[in-house]
Amino acid sequence: MQMLNEYIDNFLDYLEYERKYSFHTVENYERDLTKYKNYIEKEKINFKNMDYSKVADYTIYLKTSGYSPSSINRHLSSIRTFYTYLLNTNKVQNNPFKLIKGPKKEKKLPNYLKYDEFLDIIRVCDSSDLGVRNLLILELLFATGIRVSELVNIKLNDINLNEREIKIFGKGGKSRIVYFNKVCHKVMIDYLNNHRLILLKNKKHDYLIVNHLGNKLTRRGVEDILDKIIKKSSLKHKISPHTLRHTFATLLLNEGMDIREVQELLGHKNLSTTSIYTHVTNQELRKVFLKYHPRDKFKS
């Protein structure tokens, strides 16, 4: 087993120094490989003699240990990558973890707000400089469906106020145009004319959203702001900034917008990513059907 320890150490060094993986990523690999090493030590298995049945047994072991499907898949991926490294460095003859697929991930329906719940949240925002900024954050997320990482990177020259358009730079640097409504437009004008300059505190930068120190607001800052707003509202369930993105997509589909148009606005590369929202809208449709169809109301 000393040989395996040495191989794991070499692999982790390879990830850190050659592949330039982050400390957090390397730490996750180390945790997964340590669990695997402890398992095969306990079962007295030679790591070079793993086959399909032994890998399947290990997968069952992870499941019975309480690992979720996504955690099992990540765990198997770590070991699969390790064996690929061993194969490329001529330490093993094959990669047994290529022979098995992990469990299917459970599809969780996205959490979203009803329109009256959104109205309840924005009532918390006051007319102070930070209050108007917070209102703009909520209105922009609700109006455009952009990611928080995209929101905090909006610059003034990305915005076309006359056309109510914003050029967004999404994942992989891919750009797209999103649109905002009249209410959002009104809040943005108020923020730009009366509050942003005060929040800047004589600092100079082009980012739209400013924090209380006059610097660019961070993604974590948006999450903290929303947490505080939710605590002041009457909502009892947990809301994240991404909830507003889910709300945007769900409401548009409920109103009849084509799913491909919603895909374009969200910046999804694949339509399958957007299709999760059709499950939500279908659920709502079912509720309406069961509520109003006369034959469903029939009591036997």
CA separation for the pair 188, 136 (Å, rounded): 6
Q: Which of 37, 277, 279, 291 is catalytic?
A: 277
Please, what sign has the CA dihedral across residues 227, 230, 236, 238? negative
Task: Give which of 164, 207, 208, 257 is closest to 265, Cα–Cα.
Answer: 257
Active site residue 19: no
How far is it, in rounded angstroms, from Cα 71 to Cα 38?
18
- Catalytic pick among 246, 268, 279, 286: 268
d(CA 287, CA 292): 9
CB atoms under 10 Å from CB of 57, counted, come to 13
Q: Which of 171, 186, 212, 260 is catalytic?
A: 171
**Which position among 80, 133, 147, 246 bears the catalytic label?**
147
Task: Assess whether 279 carries a catalytic annotation.
Answer: no
Contact 253, 259 (CB under 8 A): yes
Residue 147 is a catalytic residue: yes
Q: 167 forms bridges with which residues in the sheet?
A: 177
Q: Catalytic annotation on 237?
A: no
Residue 268 catalytic? Answer: yes
Is residue 171 part of the annotated active site? The answer reads yes
| Cα 63 to Cα 61: distance, rounded to the nearest angstrom | 5
**Among all residues, which ones are annotated catalytic?**
147, 171, 242, 245, 268, 277
